[in-house]
Structures are given as structure tokens and as C-alpha cells.
Chains A and B, each alone.
Chain A
Amino acid sequence: MNENTSSAAEQLRAVDAGSSAGIDIGRASKVHDALYGTAVGVLIAGMLAVVVFVYPTRAPWLVGPSTVLYGVGIGVVGGIYRLRRKGTSRITAQRYRVGFLLTMSLYAIGVVLSVLGLALPLWFWIPYIVATALPMAIASNLGAPRDR
């Protein structure tokens, strides 16, 4: 073994050690990431429920308080997450972004359907609102990858 290969082998061992450390950091924040993602998904679905069931004709006075409550909820959840977060796996972050995009898309479609005044039944809205939270909840609960 010459100088190049000896040094290369040592450097590759350092790469493996660093890579394992990165994976372990990602795994350690798994529960925290899952709770945060699920909470955000539930908050967005909750806001859709407010839009569908009480906006704007049934209780117009709820527009202000519910929007403030939603903002505070997102702020509190985000604040707690930032306080406790130590690191996030790259794949978890990518899944989170996809889940957030899907949840927000379902939210936007739900708002449009509600505004169109199609008078859709309860059996449509309840599963739809639950489904709105699911992409975020599923994406953030998949956890960090197991590969080494």
C-alpha cells in the first residue's frame, strides 16, 4: 500500500464516521420532527375547517379571532420547534417540503370549493379536512432514513 492509498483509506474512514454521525443526529430528532410536522398539518386542516364551516356567512365575527388564533398557533408551534431543534436530516426536510406543498394544495382546493358555494355535504368535508392534514403528518412521521 503506497502513501496515496493509505491516506485515501484513512480519509474514507473519516467520511464513514462523519456520515454515521450525521445519520444519528437526524434520527435523534425524529420524534421532534414528527410532532412538529403533525401539529402544522392539524393546524392547517383546522383552519380549513373554520373556512368551510363558519366563514363567512355563518359567523363573520369569527374571521378575525380564528385568523389570529391560527397565526398564534403556527407561531407557538414554530417557536417550540426552533427552541428544541438540534438538527434535521436532509431527507426528512425534503419529505417535509413535499408534505407541506401537498397539504397547502389540498387546503387551497378546499377553500376554492368552499367559496364556490357548491353546498357539499358533511360526508365530503370531514374526510377531506382529515386528508388535508395527512400529507404533513405522514411525511414527518416517516422519520430519518435507515441507510448507512
Chain B
Amino acid sequence: MTADSTLHPRHEFDDLLNSPTRLSILAALSRLEDVEFSVLRDSLEVSDSVLSKQATLLDGAGYVRVRKGHVGKRPRTWLSLTPSGRAAFSRHVAALHAVLGES
């Protein structure tokens, strides 16, 4: 048995993902190829500023890709999950299940 295998599952938690809002964003994105900002905002029932702030944080960590563009003259922002975001999300969710499995 290695030293790592004796660690409590909480050590696998990703500090950035210890937030229900950020987890919801990643969970939704994990099901989608990409999604338009306003659709995700409405679907998660959060405000523009909340989603914008959290998306910026996740983008900075390399977990989410934020792509800005125009459709006609209207600006649009698209969000998608990066491979490292998907991996971090999977690790964090596995750790959550492990913690609950221990109780």
C-alpha cells in the first residue's frame, strides 16, 4: 500500500471546485460540446455577473474555454469544457463520492 492510498479522499478535492455554482457549471458543460452564455445562465438560474465571474475563474484555471464571437452584429459568448477541466471535474466528483461512501 502506498502512502497516497492512505490519504483521506478530501485531499483529492480541487479547491476551485469547492463551490456549488462552479460545480454546476462544469457539470452542465460536461454534457455539452459547447453552449451559448445566456442559455447556460438561464438554465442554471444565475445572473450575468455570477456566471461571468465564475467562467472567468474557470477559464483562468484552464478548465473552461471562453470563446467570443459575433452572430450578425450581436456579440455572443460560447463556453466549453477543456480536457483538463473534464479531468479535474471527474476527480473532484469521484472524491465527493468517496467521502460520502466512507460515512
Contacts and interface: CB of A to CB of B under 8 A. Distances in A.
Given A8-B99, A14-B27, A89-B31, A21 B71 contact: no
B67 to A, nearest CB: 12
Give the interface size class of chain B.
Answer: 20 to 34
B interface, by DSSP: helix, strand, loop or mixed?
Answer: helix
Interface in B64-103: 71-72, 93, 96-97, 99-100, 102-103
A126 B98 CA distance: 57
A66 to B, nearest CB: 29
Given A7-B18, A13-B20, A85-B36, 8 more contacts: A5-B102, A14-B24, A19-B27, A22-B30, A25-B43, A83-B71, A87-B40, A90-B32
Interface residues of A, number: 33
A71 interface: no
Given A9-B100, A12-B96, A83-B72, A18 B24 contact: yes
Contacts of A4: 10, 99, 103
Interface centre among B31, B97, B102 (most CB of A within 10 A): B31
Given A14-B24, A22-B28, A24-B43, A87 B36 contact: yes
Interface string B17-57: 11011011111111111111001100110000000000000
